[in-house]
Amino acid sequence: MTNKSKQRAKTEISFIVNGEPKTVRAYTMERLLDVLRQQLELTGTKEGCGEGECGSCSVLLDGMLVNSCLIPVLQAEGANIVTIEGVAAGDTLHLLQQTFLEHGGAQCGICTPGMILAATHLLNEKPAPTLEEIREGLSGNLCRCTGYSQIVEAVAEASRRKAIA
């Protein structure tokens, strides 16, 4: 019975993910996180806490940094979504992905996709942030491995290289 009533509640929702138009059938209140991971198989977006504290599920929604565990999928109707899978250009890593590698910004890797999206958002808003502004900009994304220093250094380096590029 439960299954049937759930079937009826499903609706068609369309949005753009990493440049590609997608249409899914989902419960309107389903978390965007689950739709991305389970239906679209974009498993680079991670769940850490399920309550918007850790930022592991961060994606860009119309250019805004959001916790996809807090977004009902209906809210994404018509939106332009970027997940970690859409950050690199084919085999060419994004500058931030490159500097994360070079500076030890990724250890266990579970917070890394969200952290890179948060950093992308930060540099979009503020191309030359101070170290303090980087810490502030990433403060919604928790990392338990690195103690953040090497992440902050990776973002600062990306900003520096972008400025001279």
Instruction: Return residues touching other proteins (CB under 8 A).
Output: 1-3, 6, 37, 42-51, 53-54, 56, 83-85, 87-88, 93, 97, 100-101, 103-113, 116, 131, 134-136, 138-152
Distance separating alpha carbons of residues 120 and 129, to the nearest angstrom: 12
Q: What number of other Cβ atoms are within 10 A of residue 131's Cβ?
A: 12
C-beta of 106 vs 123, nearer to other proteins = 106
CB 57 within 8 A of CB 51: no
Q: Compute φ and ψ for 78, nearest 5 degrees.
A: 80, 0
C-beta of 101 vs 128, nearer to other proteins = 101
C-beta of 18 vs 78, nearer to other proteins = 18
Q: Give the residues across from 26 on adjacent strands.
A: 11
C-beta of 78 vs 149, nearer to other proteins = 149
Least distance from other proteins to the Cβ atom of residue 55, Å:
9
Least distance from other proteins to the Cβ atom of residue 84, Å:
3
Distance separating alpha carbons of residues 5 and 93, to the nearest angstrom: 44
